[in-house]
Amino acid sequence: MRLDRRAFLSVVTATTLSGCARLATALNNNETFHKVLLAPERLDLALLGAGQPLAQEYGPQDISPNFRANGFDPPSTAQYAQWAKDGWRGYGLQVEGLVERPRSYDLATLRTKFAKQAQITRHDCVEGWSVIGKWSGVRLSDLLADVGVKPLAQYVIFHSLDSDVMGIPYYESLSLVQAAHPQALIAYDLNDAPVPIKNGAPLRLKVPTQLGYKSAKYLKRIELVASFASLGSGNGGYWEDQGYEWYAGI
């Protein structure tokens, strides 16, 4: 959680008023105390994620024989075709915006630098069907901790490589609290094999606590922002811009 400076200072003020003047003066004259107050607030993503209700996890026997695909056609660009042909050589997931250390991650780095998280969870589409699959990848909060989220960041935007027939790109967003959920994954494997093209290769978001449209496929870029008002039509996602709810908790 964030250290609320104003609340902290009001305690100091109240302490002064209530007569513990010596303590308050001592704190006021303490250089370290001021440094703590002025330090950039540190966002502890693991703490933010802890205690949130978890989606149910299933056993290997529950995995659906076919994880059906839904949504737009896979990206149709020559670049995407080339990456797919080359085993994703040259592809990188950019993480940028309100972060301390913007960077691009190739797949090998994601597979080796971070702990591999696996979950067998149910995917619920708003259209009324569900499938169970095993997703493995990097915990989103681990990735965000690696780039360092700046205090002003409020939302995590997921930019995809695919677009609708009009050429409008798919995108989605989560609040920082939702992004810190321990089951929110940047998935590189489905059922112990690289995510197939139909399901969002090479990387997709998987948030089992929310409806399927939140789990953006074909990730290109993750962007930390203070507001999503200037993206798309300003509602926080492709389907949200068509009238779907931004909050899609199950």
Ligand X SMILES: Nc1nc2c(c(=O)[nH]1)N[C@H]1C(S)=C(S)[C@@H](COP(=O)(O)O)O[C@H]1N2
Question: Which residues contact Mo ion by CB under 5 A?
Answer: 125, 212-213
Beta carbon of residue 76, minimum distance to ligand X (angstroms, whole number): 13
DSSP letters spanning 170-206: EEEEEEHHHHT-TT-EEEEEETTEEPPGGGTTT-EEE
Alpha carbons within 13 A on the beta-carbon side of 238: 22
For ligand X, the closer CB: 48 or 215: 215
Minimum distance between the CB of residue 202 and ligand X, rounded to whole angstroms? 12
Evaluate whether 236 touches 228 at the Cβ level (below 8 Å). Answer: yes
Asked if residues 248 and 121 have their Cβ atoms less than 8 Å apart, the reply is no
**Residue 215 binds: one of Mo ion, ligand X, none (C-beta under 5 to 8 A by kind):** ligand X
The item of ligand X, Mo ion, none sharing an interface with residue 218, based on CB under 5 to 8 Å by kind, is: ligand X
Task: List the single partner that 225 binds among Mo ion, ligand X, none, CB under 5 to 8 Å by kind.
Answer: none
Which of ligand X, Mo ion, none interacts with 217 (beta carbon under 5 to 8 A by kind)? ligand X
Nearer to ligand X, 149 or 173 (CB): 173
Q: Closer to Mo ion at the Cβ: 139 or 214?
A: 214
Q: How far is the CB of 122 from Mo ion (least distance, A)?
A: 13
Peptide bond between residue 202 and the one before it cis (omega within 30 degrees of 0): yes
Cβ nearer to ligand X, comparing 162 with 223? 162
Q: Which two tokens stand for residue 113?
A: 């630098």
Q: How many CB atoms lie within 10 A of CB 43?
A: 18
Closest CB to ligand X: residue number: 71
- Choose from Mo ion, ligand X, none: what does 142 bind? Cβ within 5-8 Å by kind: none
Give the shortest CB-122-to-ligand X separation in angstroms: 12
Query: Which parts of this chain interact with ligand X (CB under 6 A)?
Result: 68-72, 125, 160, 162, 170, 199-200, 212-213, 215-218
Q: Which is nearer to Mo ion, 133 or 212 (CB)?
A: 212
Q: For residues 71 and 208, which CB has a smaller minimum distance to ligand X in the complex? A: 71
Minimum distance of Mo ion from residue 199's CB (angstroms): 12
